[in-house]
Amino acid sequence: MKLVENKVALVTGASRGIGRAIALRLAQEGANVAFTYLSSVEKGEALASELEQYGIKAKGYRSDASDFQAADQLVTDVVADFGKLDILINNAGVTRDGLLMRMSEENWDTVININLKSVFNLTKAATKIMMRAKTGSIINITSVVGIRGNAGQANYAASKAGIIGFTKSVALELGSRNIRSNAVAPGFIETEMTDAIDGKATEDWKQSIPMKRGGQPEEVADACVFLASDLSRYITGQVLQVDGGMLT
């Protein structure tokens, strides 16, 4: 028996990076996978057929996670197409880095809306379905930066710290309904998001990590599969760091 066989999962922001790895890993473990993308249309459209090679049902939706109405419609569409929703993975995220002195209101709002408001939007819509089914696992992708803060990322750190408070509150509110809510906090993971950081800074980061290397998207995906599956059935309200010991 595969770890999430016949469950239905929705992953936001799966066209690239960590979200893509999560969608693939869930499919390998037998889940039917609904996923979203926004600007990477070709990559998003190509993913569905890649996922179907694992013998599961997959469908991509072009949907902006920061849009409340669109998130509600997305969940309605996923349930219409797949029949149910067992697992929600809120992964969509962006950075707009800069020191506070130079940070524009627009860059603050963009990051808070895409990273944090999206988690509210999708979770609110999904829990309506999960409460009726009396089962569900919600996994929110936060960051070590949300735990520790980071110079030049006040907007991003605030959004990721907000996700942690939200995750724990939902765990407290919905535990009695058998809905679990956990966060995964990746450290330095090698994706297009971290490609944007200059080479010297990347090397400094790696040297500060006890395991002396960046993580791979698949290593975050493995933690998500654990939290999505019944292997973690008595775990809720937690933040699982996948960071090679960075904050230890």
Query: Closest distance between ligand NAP and the C-beta of residue 166, in Å?
Result: 14
Residue 32 among known ligand-binding residues = no
b/e map of 92-125 (b: 16 or more CB within 10 Å)? bbbbbbeeeeebeeebbebbbbbbbbbbbbbbeb
Residues 6+ apart with CB under 8 A from 185: 142, 143, 144, 146, 147, 160, 164, 239, 240, 241, 242, 243
Are the CB atoms for 236 and 182 separated by under 8 Å? yes
Query: Closer CB to ligand NAP, residue 40 or residue 178?
Result: 40
* Near ligand NAP by CB under 6 A: residue from 4, 26, 48, 114: 114
Site for ligand NAP in 178-237 (CB under 6 A): 186, 188-189, 191-194
Query: Closer CB to ligand NAP, residue 131 or residue 239?
Result: 239
Determine, following the binding rule CB under 6 A, whether residue 69 of this chain makes contact with ligand NAP: no
Count of residues that bind ligand NAP according to CB under 6 A? 31
Catalytic annotation, pick one of 37, 54, 61, 156: 156
What crossing angle do the helices spanning 17-28 and 217-228 adopt, rounded to 10°?
A: 50
In the residue annotation, 156 being an active-site residue is answered as yes
Residues forming the active site: 156
Binding site for NADP(+): what residues are annotated? 13-16, 91, 156-160, 189
